[in-house]
Structure 1
Amino acid sequence: MKAESKIQTRKAESTELEQSGFSLSALTFSLIIGYDGKRAANNLTGLGNYSRSLIEHLANQFPEHEYLVYAPKVKSAKQIDTFFEKDNIELKLPKNGAFLWRTLNILKDLTNDGCQIFHGLSHEIPLAIQHTRIKSIVTIHDLIFLRYPQYYKFIDRKLYEWKSKSACKRANKIIAISQKTKEDIIDLYGINPEKIDVIYQSCDDSFKTPSPKETLSRIKATYKLPDKYILNVGTIEERKNLKLAIQALKEVNEEYKLVVIGKQTAYFTSVEKEIEKLGLKNRILFLKNIPFTDLPGIYQMASVFVYPSFYEGFGIPIIEALYSGVPVVAATGSCLEEAGGPNSLYISPNDATGLAKAINQVLGSPQLQKEMKEKGLQFVQKFNSSVVTKQLMDCYIAL
């Protein structure tokens, strides 16, 4: 049965049952679930990967449902094209222009398509959706723009706050990606804790399988990776605190270099000055625009992963490192202990000496490395895609 005919059939079933007084939790037939797909259909990193991964895992694990992805436009790219090739995932574009569509006009399309649930994957849902029969969920990744406003432009900060606070007030359910984010939502927006579910994120399945030796050899040669290295992955911006890792490197065994993967921002200028001041230019390798398929191999060859960020909503790179069998040293102060678990090491994001000591502690003890790898891999199973996906579907059904 083609997607459109499926939708029409389920729309009729939905209308008939709703008129009979059934709630979504009582429905046993296939659901029609809509998503804010702006990033899924256009972004190749970050929230784009998160959105596609979430929907694709749902579609694989619960193929009886329809997953409609609403986006004002779509980008032509292999990973996006492949995503929309699945039978039960369908791209929905505006029928009458994109202006104000995601904010307001989308409601007519959601109703016509028979959507029973709409999931805003990043901090916002359509205005007035609370006045329709469509149940709504919003995912809040973080409220860093309120905790650390100095990292954001005033206009951007106010826009983010308005959208996310409004969505939290109007949505039937809120998903926080960490306990820390849940606490921030309660503290900063005054939301009832019972309205918020904590559902962690997973990472791409490619990090969960060891790469063949031939692949690792090719990757090492392609990027001229050193034999021994410490790894840091993430946008090179002030909040991510790369300078602390550089300062710590001065006190770390000289056999080890620091490999940094991430998009460079204006903060990179001060990073370069710090490297020059400490005389570490020959011990640091910057990589950017790395194909996603090569990233797991780069993780797997690292000796230790460092993530000294001042504040995060969760910390996917830590999950990637643990699945890759790499010991993790991260910063206290946000949610990184939730991602890294009790057997990773944690330091203050202002303590370069403490970071160096923790790195040296790991590098100097094969027994500690073995323990951190084994226990880290055990801990990270709680973030397995199948576990997270089941929790999310349970959240939908309970609406």
Structure 2
Amino acid sequence: MRIGLDYRTVGTSPQSGISRQVYALETALRALPQIELERFTVAPLGDASRLQAHCPSWGCAKTAMHQPHNRLRFEAGFLPRALREQHIDLYISTFNMGLPLPPKPKGLRTVVLLHDLFQITLDNYHANRLKALIYKTSDRLSIAWAVRSADRVWTPSQYSADETARLFPEAKAKIRVLPNQVDGFTGLPADLSARQLPKDYWLLVGTRELRKNVPFWVDAWQRARRQSPAVPELVLVGSLEHLPASQRSLPGIRALSGVSDAELHALYRQASRLWQPSYAEGFGLPVIEALSVGTPVAVASGTSLDEITPPSAPRFSPTDGPALVQLMLDLAQRPAEDAPEQCRQWAERYNPGAYRRRLAELIEELQ
């Protein structure tokens, strides 16, 4: 079976969460018997990646690959012919959209990896309202086309599967759950002494997207700190610029950007707890990463975080500030609910072996 893999996200943001899943998918597919894998992407002229993937003759800046006109040029003008010439049996799009436009090559089957639907259900950061409208409209059309035309829709959580079925009920029968792979950390954690971090701190990872709900959480944390000195200081992986100006200089808060994997490993290990306050989450990678090194977590309820988090972990409403303050006061005074080994055991359900087994089932279904 010859499989084509959409590799555009890797070129745009090679360290992103979506790209990590592309790497995991690629590695798992190459390990399956009787599979031949080919990459398809856009790249600048002269870029080394053009030697490792099928690319159109025209070039494109890495930062412009997902602009609507470049997507259309690739998906309509290049991809159908390239898939036909390479005799691809199955094409997998990896970023919510991106399937080839008609005419579809004869015998081709397609899969769209739908991480979430927040591109079309929530407001996102854009330079201006016109750009936001253009992107939201094109994303809505692209995602709708991908979901309706694909032979299968793979989502990383049952929450995302249910949301897809709610918005596109005609696609319900072809939706499958493929939980994300979380590799954990293989190398040694970095020495963080130069960062001069507090001995005891709570950790949040990711500040940019509105759905991460960080200002709401920081407000509750500030109120809890005023009531009890036992509430730890806060370390954010991200930028304070994504917080309201009134929160950026609060005592006990600091943000770290440009964090390496080894530093992130150490930050998780040294944190007394990871918090994930998102009101919309398609999977929740930081939760599993924290659990994989034995760090307890507390998460907002109502999305995929409910299913990927151990039942014993504390949960809170992403809109009830007073209840969150009380939870913080309670957790600051009592030991963690799960031992580190229990946290690590839970995270194992998302390891590479589990991912490969589930992927093999889904590929077999399409053969």
Query: One fold, TM greater than 0.5?
Result: yes
- The residue that corresponds to 2:353 in the other structure is 386
Deviation at 1:183, TM superposition (A): 1.1
Deviation at 1:261, TM superposition (A): 0.5
Q: 2:183 aligns with which of 204, 222, 243?
A: 204
Q: Is the 8 A contact 1:104 1:126 kept in 2?
A: no
Residues 106-255 of structure 1: pairs in structure 2 closer than 5 A = 106-124=79-97, 125-128=99-102, 130-149=104-123, 153-206=132-185, 209=186, 212=188, 215-216=189-190, 218=191, 220-250=192-222, 251-252=224-225, 253-254=228-229
Task: Report whether the alignment pairs 1:346 with 2:321.
Answer: no
The letter for the 2-side match of 1:53 is A
Q: 2:267 aligns with which of 298, 303, 309?
A: 298
Larger Rg: 1
Superposed CA deviations along residues 224-282 of structure 1, whole A, max 9, x for unmatched, are: 221111000013332211122212223145352100002566x43x1x31355xxxx23
Q: Is the 8 A contact 2:91 2:109 kept in 1?
A: yes
Taking only aligned residues, the RMSD between alpha carbons, in angstroms, comes to 2.8
Aligned mates of 1:319, 1:384 — CA distance in 2: 10
Q: Is the 8 A contact 1:142 1:313 kept in 2?
A: yes
Higher mean C-alpha deviation, range 354-363 or range 140-149: 354-363
Q: Secondary structure at the match of 1:109?
A: helix
Residues 304-315 of structure 1: pairs in structure 2 closer than 5 A = 304-315=273-284
Q: Secondary structure at the match of 1:174?
A: strand
The letter for the 2-side match of 1:312 is E
Higher mean C-alpha deviation, range 96-105 or range 299-308: 96-105
TM-score if structure 2 supplies the norm length? 0.84
Aligned mates of 1:286, 1:362 — CA distance in 2: 22
User: Percent of pairs identical after alignment?
Assistant: 23
Aligned mates of 2:44, 2:32 — CA distance in 1: 25
Aligned mates of 2:57, 2:174 — CA distance in 1: 34
Aligned mates of 1:288, 1:379 — CA distance in 2: 28
Q: Is the 8 A contact 2:45 2:59 kept in 1?
A: no
Q: Is the 8 A contact 1:230 1:305 kept in 2?
A: yes
Q: Is the 8 A contact 2:240 2:248 kept in 1?
A: no
The letter for the 1-side match of 2:118 is I
Residues 76-115 of structure 1: pairs in structure 2 closer than 5 A = 90-95=52-57, 100-115=73-88
The letter for the 2-side match of 1:66 is E
Aligned mates of 2:263, 2:318 — CA distance in 1: 29
Q: Is the 8 A contact 1:362 1:368 kept in 2?
A: no
The letter for the 2-side match of 1:94 is P
Q: Is the 8 A contact 1:72 1:102 kept in 2?
A: no
Aligned mates of 2:46, 2:193 — CA distance in 1: 31
Aligned mates of 1:75, 1:223 — CA distance in 2: 40
- The residue that corresponds to 2:129 in the other structure is none
- The residue that corresponds to 1:40 in the other structure is 10
TM-score if structure 1 supplies the norm length? 0.78
Consecutive unaligned residues of structure 1, counting only runs of 5 or more, are: 1-30
Q: Secondary structure at the match of 1:94?
A: coil
Superposed CA deviations along residues 74-109 of structure 1, whole A, max 9, x for unmatched, are: 6999xx98xx99xxxx42222466761234421221
Q: Is the 8 A contact 1:42 1:73 kept in 2?
A: no
Deviation at 1:343, TM superposition (A): 1.9
Higher mean C-alpha deviation, range 116-125 or range 285-294: 285-294
Residues 1:297 and 1:34: Cα distance change in structure 2 (over 3 Å) = same
The letter for the 1-side match of 2:360 is M
